[in-house]
Structure 1
Amino acid sequence: MTTLVDRADTRFDGDRRRSDDGYFHKDETATYLEYGLSGRDTMVVRIAWQDVRRSRGQSYDEARGLAASEIGWRRQVWRRDATVASLQATALIPGQGENVANQAFGSGEMAAELRALLGQGLGRHGFVEAQTAWRWRDGEYLDEARLDLTAGWRVTDRWQVLAQSFSVWSVETDRPGTRAFDQHKLQLSVSRELGAQTIQIGASFTPTGRNAINQQALFLSVWRRF
């Protein structure tokens, strides 16, 4: 489970310049589940409840409730020593909150995503992982390409440091009311194991983007193995 506080009072315009843009507030609590169906197959589920507000000029938007929910299936397709490759298919079901980045809350229709994951262990103390995805959106909303990168280093038996980046690009040209965009976030966190649980705390920021909100966030996660 992750609790996140996300704020922004500027945005990136079409030339990647920061400009004043009212404010964006998002408080979110999300539950994420991975359940092994077999030695190679895993079910993944994510459900998020949000309280979101957006003010921009004379426009104001707010919502409370579920954001887009995700349900998917991941299959390990290759493994050699400390290297693992997987594929994941996910369906996204819209809710009342933020379903599509930079769009009105509650807007957005069904979406589907195909994701490839490649992880490499670095001895007993670290790992690196890359995930690339293509997200198809129904209706007027633009399809997206995504790239997530993670590096983790175990400082002690219980403490770990994680550095991550999350990037998304729209892969279609502007449509009426929907502008092409990209957004890139960097995230740093530390985690500590407490028996079957892991506590993680971290922060993220947005160093660059185009037609996107300049977001900064703090989060606290509790993970439990079962």
Structure 2
Amino acid sequence: MQHTARMLATLAGCAGLLSPAPLLAGAWGQEPNGMFLSLQSTFYSTDHYFDAQGSRRDRGGTFTKYELNPYLEYGLTARDTLTANLFYHWLEDDAAGRLEKNHGAADQEFGWKRQLLKQNGSVLAIHALVIVPAGYDEAGENPRLGYNRYGGEANLLYGHSSTVWGKNAMLDLRLGYRDYFGYPASQVRSNATIGYDIAERWQVLLGAELLYGLNNGTAHELAPSVLAETDYRLLKLSLALRYHLSDHYSLVAGGYAHAWGENTGSGGGGNVSLWHSF
């Protein structure tokens, strides 16, 4: 039972931490030949997990994750943008009674964003992407770096910028569907972010992200008597501050917490990122 809880929190916790596109990108694409780069470093730690009923339980040890996440956009046309969301993980887990470590490239995401509408400060777009595994040994490595499965995702994006109380404000919304074609379960994925300029160079960012498994995945055997959890649900809340270093550079730092979940790790962490548009 303890091994099942450890595997559950590690697998679903890792997958739940794969980051969506940075807020500055969102529904807004790039101009032709324009580029946007985000280099983000993330820390996550937990010694508890949410069980299948959403109750928080002790997992018998601490799982820790450090993630390096470069995100790149390149504008093809005035309406089309290519995206690449890349991940490298350093993982530690002592729930088995000994410290286990692993590091390497995780599942990568490559996509295409198409702007459908842009008027009166609002943008509507679609974003299609493919998930490409890095080819690691899923049975022989622990903690696992990801699911090691090809998948696809389709998103509807909406963004709106305006002025509120004399300050710049923005809203960014995403509603998507991710499918791994059998294992793990398909997911509805959504997030909402509000940004507001609190000073000349400072912006506060409030975010919520929901990953909702549809309970349609098939069991997957990693090793004899070891089944990977196929379905999880997670609500993540975040708060960050963005500082405009210049017209093309921004520094962003914040924290997040796993507020609710089923079959996934609880806990939380923080991140720091550098944004550059050129």
TM-score by length of 1: 0.91
Aligned residue in 1 for 2:7: none
Task: Say if 1:173 and 1:38 are closer, same or farther in 2 by CA, change over 3 A.
Answer: closer
* Separation of aligned partners in 2, 1:64 and 1:120: 38
- 2:225 equivalent to 1:225: no
2:179 & 2:119 partners in 1: Cα distance? 31
- Determine the structure 2 residue equivalent to 1:138: 181
| CA deviation map 1:191-212 (0-9, x unaligned) | 1111121000000001111111
Distance 1:70 1:97 in 2: 19
**8 Å contact kept, 1:61–1:105:** no
CA distance in 2 between counterparts of 1:167 and 1:61 reads 29
Judging by fraction of residues, say which structure has more strand: 1
Among 156, 172, 176, the alignment partner of 1:116 is 156
Matched, 1:94 2:133: yes
Match of 1:11 in 2: 49
Compute the displacement of 1:155 (Å).
Answer: 1.4
Choose which of 48, 53, 61 in structure 1 pairs with 2:87.
Answer: 48
1:180 deviates by 2.7
**Structure with the higher helix share, 1 or 2:** 2
Alignment of 1:75-86 (within 5 A): 75-86=114-125
Tell me the distance in 1 between the aligned counterparts of 2:262 and 2:62: 17
Which segment drifts farther, 146-155 or 44-53? 44-53
TM-score (norm: length of structure 2): 0.74
1:205 matched residue in structure 2: 257
Structure 1 residues without counterparts, runs of 5 or longer: none
Aligned residues: 222
Question: Against the structure 1 CA distance between its residues 147 and 106, is the aligned structure 2 distance closer, same or farther, given a 3 Å change threshold?
Answer: closer
Partner-residue secondary structure (3-state), 1:125: strand
Give me the whole-angstrom Cα distance separating, in 1, the residues matched to 2:182 and 2:216.
14
Counterparts in 2 of 1:173 and 1:75: CA distance versus 1, 3 Å:
closer
What percent of counterpart residues are identical? Answer: 24
Q: Tell me, what secondary structure is at the counterpart of 2:86?
A: strand
Secondary structure in 2 matching 1:135: strand
Residues 142-161 of structure 1: pairs in structure 2 closer than 5 A: 142-161=185-204
Q: Is the aligned partner of 1:70 residue 2:121?
A: no
Using a 3 Å threshold, how does the CA distance of structure 1 residues 216 and 144 change in structure 2: closer, same or farther? same
Determine helix, strand or coil for the equivalent of 1:167. strand
Distance across 1 between alignment mates of 2:213 and 2:115: 28
Tell me the secondary structure at the aligned position of residue 231 of structure 2.
coil
Which deviates the most, 119-128 or 40-49?
A: 119-128
C-alpha RMSD of the superposition: 2.1
Q: What residue number does 2:16 align with?
A: none
| CA offsets 1:73-122 (integer angstroms, 9 cap, x no match) | 10100122111100011011113499xxxx94343310110011011112
1:108·1:139 contact (CA, 8 Å) conserved in 2? no
| One-letter code aligned to 1:211 | N
Match of 2:145 among 86, 105, 112: 105
* C-alpha distance in structure 1 between counterparts of 2:94 and 2:217, whole Å: 23
